[in-house]
Chain A
Amino acid sequence: MAAVAAGDGAGSGAAGSPEAPAGGTGGGGWRRPHGPLQRYYGPSAAEAAEAAPDPTDINGPHFDPEVFMTKVRSKCPLGQLLAQEAALGREIRALDSDMQTLLYENYNKFISATDTIRKMKVDFRHMEAEMDDLAANMAAISASSARVSAALQDRHRRGAQLAGVQALLRKLQALVEVPGRLRHWAGTEPTRALRCYGRARSVLRHYRHLPSFRAIEDESHAIMAELAQRLRTRLRYETLDPKELTECVEILLQLEEPPEELSEEFLSQAGTRLEAELAMLEAELPTSDPSGTAATPPPASDILDFVDRGSSAFVGTLCQLAGSYRTLFGSDTGRLEPFATVLATRYFGLLERRLALERGLGDTSLLVRALDRFHRRLQALLELLPEGAAAAAALVARAARERVDRYLRALQTFFLGCLGDVRQALAAPRPPGKEGPGLPDLLATLAASVLGQLKAVLAYVQLFTARDVTFASLPYFKGEFCVAAVREGLVVAFVRWLCRTARGFADGPAERGAPAAPPALLLLLARLCLDYENSTISYILTLTDEQFPPQDSGPAVTPGPALCAEARAAAQRLLDHYVQVQGAAVAQMLRKSVETRDWLGTVEPRNVRAVMKRVVEDITAIDVQVGQLFEEGVRRAQSSDSSRRAFSVYSSSRAPGRYAPSYTPSAPMDTHLLSNIQKLFSERIDIFSPVEFNKVSVLTGIIKISLKTLLECVRLRTLGRFGLQQVQVDGHYLQLYLWRFASDERVVQGLLDEVAASAAHRCLDPVPMEHSVVELICERG
């Protein structure tokens, strides 16, 4: 045994790989008992697929004991052989016991099955007998039923015959009565007569070979013909309301009158009726007077009433007629359409004339409601008149546009009225001691009233696009009306017009002759335009866009900045003009004073000339005026140079240290030389140059114009010694009072220096006055 065990161990160690099939056989041992059974009931797919037959597979179908033996014998060592033999023996025994168990079980089942079958056989025999009984009973029942029905058949047939005869008799009776009834109804209720006739007609036609029936038929024919005749007469000569008309034509149609002819008559009848209604509407309109609008009386009824009546009467009738026409003559509207178009066009024409009467501003809501009603009623006609809808929409749009235009004009008139008021307020003589309304008040009133009016107009116009108005949903009102009519046509046009008008004050009257606008008005308008540029335009546009939302793909709109630029340009123009006008006024004064004086023979100056005082007064007044409307503006910090030149009068009024000198003058220079050098390096002074929107700039502009005039005038004169001294005094006086108005003191100084230099140049005997004396005179003056 030890040897076997050893050999087995060696064998298993030596032949590791050939062991594998043996192990596999061992592993498959469990299933082995079911394998044959399975095979018996049919090989499974897996086994069928098993391709290569292995003769050594002890469980396989191709098992070949010879091969197996040979293989085992040749391959396995003795130990293993023995072990395999023992294993095989064990397996065989196990299989045997399994087989026995199965056999026994099967046998038991077989026995019980046999018992069951035997029991069933007994039961069936019993049931057969009962079925036979049942069949016999059924046969008896059917026989008796046949007997009964045979007995009743005869009587039933007789009853049916009787019923038929009675029905026939009743029909005959009805036929006989037909003419009477027809006659009875033909007068009062043609519809019933017609129905009756319709029922009887086919029968009568069928039996017309019988004389009595023919008589009846002829009679009823005659009656119906008469009826038809009567109806036609009625149709032709009487005025029928639409319902009667429809009825009438319907009956005639059923009486087989020719429909062509009928439809024509129908239309002509309807036409007369509609014409009558139109005529009624037209009667309300004043006779169109091509010569002028002078004596047209105000329309008797307001537009809403008119449209109401027009739509309820005319449009309603037209709708009704069109509807009945369609039901009567089918959907072929070849004749109806042109008919309706002609009438509708006339109606539109009437309405247009009526709208044209709405000249005044009146009540927009009334107009809107009227238009709305008109449009709504017309919707009913839409399917009938597709082009009518377009025409109606165009009409409404035209009316709306017209209204907007009128509002624009009203706004313009209003603005002009406001301006007139302002002018009056400006021109009104002020009671002494009591200040009239200040410029800011006037400006505020003007701006507020114009803006208020504009808003009110927008609110009115908005009625056209209100949600509950039907035509507001038209694409025109959604898009083009908002953008083209309201935004461009009303708001933008108004702002543009305002700017243009304002500019007109600057451009127009200055040219020739026409009464020039008062300077204060120019100033006021400049401020107004500037305000528009700053805020009002954007406010108005936002408001408009809110109330009339523009469509994205709509026509191009004028952008706000463009308008702002226009307003700004107008404001600039006005302010420039203001400066020129005021400057010219002062300059004129100076020029006259220089030209008329005899500068050679003048006496030694004792006073500042009155005209200079007047100039200072005027400029102070202008300063006050401008200061009411415009901000102070930036003053250029005085250079130390000018502060050195400043005289004690106003150098003392300055807070010390406020104008901290950035540099100290290097050396006192001759002022004349200094100013000459300064002139070389300083930029040119543009005299009539555009000004900025602030007080200082405006005042500087005016002062520049005045002083330059003084300079040019002095250059044209020849002065004596005292003339020069007078100029000296005047110049000093001006400098004393004007520096505070100008943005750059050096401008004033420079110009006055030039005046002094020119005066010295034009002087025959240039002996300047003592500076202290000059100061003294000025202070005294």
Chain B
Amino acid sequence: ARALTPQTAETDAIRFLVGTQSLRYDNQIHIIDFDDENNIINKNVLLHQVGEIWHISTSSADKGVLATCYNKTSDTKVMTCAAVWRMPKELESGSHESPDDSSSNTQTLELLCHLDNTAHGNMACVMWEPMGDGKKIISLADNNILLWDLQESSAKAVLSSSAALEGKGQLKFTSGRWSPHHNCTQIATANDTTVRGWDTRSMRQIYCIENAHGQLVRDLDFNPNKQYYLASCGDDCKVKFWDTRNVTEPVKTLEEHSHWVWNVRYNHSHDQLILTGSSDSRVILSNMVSISSEPFGHMVDDDELSDQEDQHQEEKIKEPLQDSVIATYEEHEDSVYAVEWSSADPWLFASLSYDGRLVINRVPRALKYHILL
């Protein structure tokens, strides 16, 4: 299994969606609920019969809407398609009273629309607009960027604009992210060793990091708090941090993994926390204080602190922490293809490996308090 996503629109419950990959059986989407207080995991299964799931993403506005990229196999051809789905109402906010034999009462996803890609090639991923009303999605298909408008309550997807990457050889996007900054007008894509930035309004390239990695770039993520900062990871076992205003040199490079790094994720609230998953079967949580939005060693008065009831608010650390690896998680036996932070609890994250094992971990308590207090 490779596809993992948090339920982005959900801010109360800790919920992840996992898509399965199987060629010979019906594929499923597992909705994983984690009860933080009781340390109990609840699972609901939705059938996804059209094919094995390579990528999954959830709408940032509507809890029940999600998009998948799936393989449709015929005898001689494999085609990766994308579709937008709606999950059954009762599962939207999680059903804690779900029976133990959850596999028996599997429910089916309701198809909202297909993203028609017959002209564009295989879908690599689908991105939802991070802030808006969940009407806009972008999908990457081979060397095309497609911007879709969902109309009629997502029942119809209209291709509003697209851009193609031209060049010699077969260019293929491997992944992309939608920047939450600049009023959601920028996306970044990766193809081969290059990272490119695009403006969604003009569908033009705005920056290009050539040879960002020695080998293939596998994943990208935007710093949620610093608008020009971008993290990338790839087959050269490195994680690099870029300032998109200066694309000649990375701001920082991490070399902790011993094989390809498949996934990199900034924590949504505390952008010094970086999560990476690699095919060396490890998940590494790093603390990159020096390039985070957290100011160094700035003290905040106690009364000021007590005023901040929202824990998502930026808190100040008492003393500067060094950039360091916080923890290496070795629970997986096989390559880890996906890591994600929970959208509800900033201290919680999940990782998924090839053999289908999903592991949910917490940021170490000591570090959490260090960041908060």
Size category, B interface = 20 to 34
- CB neighbours of B260 from chain A (8 A): 712
Which of B211, B215, B281, B354 lies in contact with A684, CB distance below 8 A?
B281
Chain A residues, Cβ within 8 Å of B71? 718
Complex Cα distance, B122 from A72, in Å, reads 163
Bound-complex Cα distance A587 to B354 (A): 21
Does B41 have its Cβ within 8 Å of any Cβ on chain A?
Answer: no
Q: Which of B73-81, B145-153, B155-163, B362-370 forms part of the interface with chain A? A: B73-81
Q: For chain B residues 314-373, which have a beta carbon within 8 Å of chain A? A: 330, 333, 335, 354
Chain A residues whose CB sits within 8 angstroms of the CB of B73 once the complex forms: 600, 718, 764
Q: How far is the CB of B121 from chain A (nearest CB, A)?
A: 14
Quote the shortest CB–CB distance from B206 to chain A (angstroms): 20
For the complex of A and B, 4 pairs with smallest distance between CB atoms? A686-B258, A687-B259, A601-B76, A718-B78
Within 8 A of B (CB), among A242-271: none
Could you tell me which residues of chain A, from 710 to 745, have a CB within 8 Å of some CB in chain B? 712, 715, 718, 720
A interface footprint on B249-269 (CB within 8 Å = 1, 0 otherwise): 000000001111000000000
Interface string of A745-781 (1 = CB under 8 A from B): 0000000000000000111100000000000000000
Docked complex Cα distance between A688 and B77 (Å): 35
> Which of B75, B211, B259 has the most CB atoms of chain A within a 10 A radius of its CB?
B259
| Docked CA distance A197–B354 (Å) | 123
Q: Which residues in window 57-83 of B have CB below 8 A to A?
A: 71, 73, 75-78
- Asked if A588 is at the interface of the complex by the 8 Å CB criterion, the answer is yes
For B54, the closest partner residue in chain A by CB is A716
Docked-complex contact B281 and A708, CB < 8 angstroms? no
Are the CB atoms of B258 and A687 closer together than 8 Å? yes
Q: Tell me whether B23 and A763 are in contact (CB under 8 A).
A: yes
Answer whether residue B237 sits at the interface, using C-beta atoms and an 8 A cutoff: yes
Partner of B23, one of A587, A687, A688, A762: A762
- Residue contact B210 to A512, C-beta cutoff 8 Å: yes
| Least Cβ–Cβ distance between A751 and chain B, in angstroms | 12
Candidates B78, B258, B259, B280; contact of A600 at CB < 8 Å: B78
Please report the C-alpha to C-alpha distance between residue A584 and residue B235 in the assembled complex, in whole angstroms. Answer: 9
A712 touches B335 (CB 8 A): yes
Q: B191 to nearest A CB, angstroms?
A: 13
Residues of B220-240 at the interface with A, using a CB-CB cut-off of 8 Å, are: 236-237
Question: Is there a chain A Cβ closer than 8 Å to B5's Cβ?
Answer: no
What are the residues of chain A within 8 A of B280 when measuring CB–CB?
684, 686-687
Partner of B76, one of A600, A684, A715: A600
- Give CA–CA (A772, B147) in the complex, Å: 53
Q: How far does the alpha carbon of A679 sit from the alpha carbon of B281 in the complex, in Å?
A: 12
Seen from chain A, the residues whose Cβ lies within 8 Å of a Cβ on chain B are: 510-513, 580, 584, 587-588, 591, 600-601, 679-680, 684, 686-689, 708, 712, 715, 718, 720, 761-764
Decide: B258 and A688 in contact? CB cutoff 8 A. Answer: yes
A688 engages B259 (CB within 8 Å): yes
List, sorted by A's number, 28 A–B pairs whose CB atoms are closer than 8 Å: A511-B214, A512-B211, A513-B210, A580-B236, A584-B214, A584-B215, A587-B215, A591-B216, A600-B73, A600-B76, A600-B77, A600-B78, A601-B76, A601-B77, A684-B280, A684-B330, A687-B280, A688-B258, A708-B259, A708-B279, A712-B279, A712-B335, A715-B335, A718-B71, A718-B73, A761-B23, A764-B23, A764-B24
A718 touches B215 (CB 8 A): no
B254 to chain A, nearest CB (A): 13
CA distance A587 to B215 in the complex (A): 10
Residues of A within 8 A of B77 (CB): 600-601
- Alpha-carbon gap, A684 to B330, bound state (A): 10
CB distance from A328 to the nearest CB of B (A): 73
B194-217 CB contacts (< 8 Å) to partner A: 210-211, 214-216
Chain B residues near A601 (CB-CB < 8 A):
76-77
Residues of chain A within 8 A of B237, CB atoms compared = 688
List residues 10-59 of chain B with CB under 8 A from any CB of chain A.
Answer: 23-24
Q: How far is the CA of A266 from the CA of B216 in the complex (A)?
A: 86
Q: Which residues of A contact B279 (CB under 8 A)?
A: 708, 712
Query: How far does the alpha carbon of A755 sit from the alpha carbon of B192 in the complex, in Å?
Result: 23
A510–B236 alpha-carbon span in the complex (Å): 10
Closest residue of chain A to B278, judged by CB?
A: A687
| A23 nearest CB across to chain B (Å) | 114
Q: List, in ascending order, chain A residues with CB within 8 A of B330's CB.
A: 684
A762–B257 alpha-carbon span in the complex (Å): 26
Q: Give the complex CA separation of A763 and B24 in angstroms.
A: 9
Q: What is the bound-complex CA distance between A708 and B258, given in angstroms?
A: 11
Q: How far is the CB of B356 from chain A (nearest CB, A)?
A: 11
Shortest C-beta distance, A752 to chain B (Å), equals: 16
Contact A718 B23 (CB under 8 A): yes
CA distance A511 to B212 in the complex (A): 8
* Alpha-carbon distance between A222 and B290 when the two chains are bound, in angstroms: 97
- For B215, give the chain A residue with the smallest CB separation: A584
- Known contacts: A684-B281, A712-B279, A764-B24. The answer to whether A689 contacts B215 by CB under 8 A is no
How far is it, in angstroms, between the C-alpha of A679 and the C-alpha of B334 when the chains are bound? 10
Q: Apart from A600-B78, A601-B77, what 15 extra A-B contacts exist at CB < 8 Å?
A: A511-B214, A512-B211, A512-B248, A513-B210, A600-B77, A601-B76, A686-B258, A686-B280, A688-B257, A689-B258, A712-B279, A712-B335, A718-B71, A720-B76, A764-B73
Task: For the complex, give the distance between the alpha carbons of A525 and B204 in Å.
Answer: 45
B102 to chain A, nearest CB (A): 25
Look across to chain B and name the residue whose beta carbon is closest to the beta carbon of A510: B214
Bound: A512/B280 CA distance, A: 25
* Shortest Cβ gap from A410 to chain B (Å): 32
* B24 nearest in chain A by CB position: A764
Bound state CA distance, A687 and B76, in angstroms?
Answer: 34
Give the chain B neighbours of A512 by CB distance below 8 A: 210-211, 248
- A513-B211 CB under 8 A given contacts A715-B354, A764-B24: yes
CA of A510 to CA of B248, assembled, Å: 14
Q: A686-B280, A688-B258, A718-B71 are in contact. Are A680 and B215 (CB under 8 A)?
A: no
Closest to B170 in A: A596
Most interface-central of B23, B75, B77, B210 (chain A CB within 10 A): B23
Residue of A nearest to B255 (CB): A688
Q: Which residue of B lies closest to A600 (CB)?
A: B76
B residues less than 8 Å from A689 (CB atoms) = 258
Contacts of A684 in B (CB 8 A): 280-281, 330
Chain A residues lying within 8 Å of B215, measured Cβ to Cβ, are: 584, 587-588
Q: Return chain A residues, CB-CB under 8 Å to B259.
A: 687-688, 708
- Complex-state Cα separation, A718 to B71, whole angstroms: 9
| Inter-chain contacts of B335 with A (CB < 8 A) | 712, 715
Question: In angstroms, how far is the closest chain A Cβ from the Cβ of B331?
Answer: 12
Chain A residues positioned under 8 Å from B257 (CB to CB): 688
Question: Across the interface, which residues of B come within 8 angstroms of A720, CB to CB?
Answer: 76
Interface centre among A513, A584, A591, A712 (most CB of B within 10 A): A712
Q: What separation, in Å, do the CA atoms of A720 and B77 have in the docked complex?
A: 10
- A405–B279 Cα distance when bound, in Å, is 50
In the complex, what distance in Å separates the CA atom of A761 from the CA atom of B21? 10
Q: Which residues of A contact B354 (CB under 8 A)?
A: 715
Q: How far is the CA of A601 from the CA of B76 in the complex (A)?
A: 5
A295 to B306, CA, bound (A): 74
A580: chain B residues at CB < 8 Å are 236
Instruction: State A770–B6 Cα separation when bound (angstroms).
Output: 45
From B279, which residue of chain A is reached at the shortest CB distance? A712
Encoded as 1 (CB less than 8 Å from any A CB) or 0, chain B from 79 to 104 comes to: 00000000000000000000000000
For the complex, give the distance between the alpha carbons of A680 and B334 in Å: 10
Q: Who on chain B is nearest to A690 by CB?
A: B258
Cα–Cα distance between A181 and B78 once the two chains are bound (Å): 135
Shortest C-beta distance, A756 to chain B (Å), equals 15
Q: Mark B161-175, 1 if CB is under 8 A from A, else 0.
A: 000000000000000
Give the distance to chain A from B202, nearest Cβ to Cβ, in Å: 28
Q: CB-nearest residue of chain A relative to B80?
A: A718
Task: Write the chain B residue with the least CB distance to A686.
Answer: B258
Which residues of the partner chain A approach B214 to less than 8 Å between Cβ atoms?
510-511, 584
In the bound complex, residues from chain B placing their C-beta under 8 Å from that of A761 are 23
Interchain CA distance A588-B77 in the complex, whole Å: 25
Considering the complex, give the chain B residue whose CB is closest to the CB of A601: B76
